[in-house]
Amino acid sequence: MCRPCECERKYQLIVITIMRYRRIPDETIRRLPIYLRGLLYLAQQGRESISSRSLADFLAVNSWQIRKDFSYFGEFGTRGVGYKIEKLTRQIKGILKLDVVHRAALVGVGNLGSAVLAYPGFGIYGFDIAAAFDNDPGKIGSKVKNVTVEDVSKLRTLRKRKIDLAIIAVPREVAQQTADELVKGGIKGILNFSPCYITVPGKVKVITIDIAMDLARLPYYMPVGSKAK
């Protein structure tokens, strides 16, 4: 039976609607860090409050999008006035669970890995890259940005060191194997820079960034006649 009768369909629809009543759109979650980044910057500039319109202009998005996104979580602003930047920042951090410091491990201290270690942008979101691993004996023991590179065999110590996030910056051939070991080590979230799909147990979240792939869709959007001949 492929087409259930009308009443059955409507019943199912109602059930699903109730179940998902307060479901947060993934796109909203994707945008929250954008808002947070802007708010942190504005706070740094000494700004104390802002309207959705001004924030929208600043971030080059729509004001109703911002209000709608916030509305999924409650009422954060004051009608007729706007938002207190400090309070709003705290709320968003709470939603994203960024209100505690997250200790992260980096695996693969090559070109990209070293750049990640040196990248100054993680701190504002409360991340602390607390460990680095590699399989190259020449790198093990060396210090990069106050972090001593350890042998990958030490990955099983992550759990007791309260490290629950990992960044994979190894060659694609060993990405899956690295992920497996991270999961064994108790890691619950992975930021993967290897250009491949990674299989993990359902409870672990993986976000993959493939910088070449992002570049690959640029030419499509570029006006014709402007491509190199």
Partner DNA sequence: CTATGTGAATTTATTCACAGCA
Partner DNA sequence: TGCTGTGAATAAATTCACATAG
Residues at the contact surface with DNA, assessed by CB under 7 A? 2-3, 9, 13, 16, 20, 25-28, 51-53, 62-65, 67-68, 70-71, 74-83
Whichever of 10 and 159 has its CB closer to a copy of itself, that residue is: 159
Residue 13 CB neighbour total at 10 angstroms? 10
Asked if residue 207 lies in contact with residue 132, where contact means CB atoms within 8 angstroms, the answer is: no
Backbone angles phi, psi at 108, to 5 degrees: 105, 95
For residue 68, the partner it binds in DNA, a copy of itself, none, with Cβ less than 5 to 8 A by kind, is DNA
Radius of gyration of the chain (CA): 22
User: Quick check: 84 binds a copy of itself (CB under 8 A)?
Assistant: no
Q: Which does 9 bind (CB under 5 to 8 A by kind): a copy of itself, DNA, none?
A: DNA
Interface segment toward a copy of itself; rule CB under 8 A; list 4-12, 46-54, 77-85, 90-98: 90-98
Written as one letter, the residue type at 81 is V
Question: Min. distance of Cβ 123 from DNA in angstroms?
Answer: 28
Binds 77: which of DNA, a copy of itself, none (CB < 5-8 Å by kind):
DNA
Separation between Cα atoms, residue 116 and residue 108, nearest integer Å: 10
Retrieve residue 197's tokens: 């799909």
Partner in contact with 34, chosen from DNA, a copy of itself, none, beta carbon below 5 to 8 Å by kind: a copy of itself
Binding mask 195-224 for a copy of itself (x = CB under 8 A): x-x-x---x-x-x-xxxxxxxxxxxxxxx-
Coarse DSSP helix, strand, coil percentages of the chain, rounded to the nearest 5 percent? 45, 15, 35
Q: What are phi and psi of 123, to 5 degrees?
A: -55, -40
CA distances from 87 to 51, 60, 125, 214 (A): 13, 22, 16, 34
The partner in contact with residue 21, picked from a copy of itself, DNA, none with C-beta cut-offs of 5 to 8 angstroms by kind, is none
How far apart are the C-alpha atoms of 213 and 221, rounded to whole Å? 14
**Could you give the CA distance from residue 132 to residue 136 in angstroms, rounded to a whole number?**
12
Pick between residue 47 and residue 161 the one whose CB is nearest to DNA: 47
Which position among 10, 30, 68, 87 is part of the footprint of a copy of itself (CB under 8 A)? 30
Residues lying near a copy of itself in the complex (CB under 8 A) are found at 29-30, 32-34, 36-37, 59-60, 95-98, 100-104, 111-112, 114-116, 118-119, 121-122, 124-125, 127, 162-165, 167, 186, 188-191, 195, 197, 199, 203, 205, 207, 209-223, 226-229
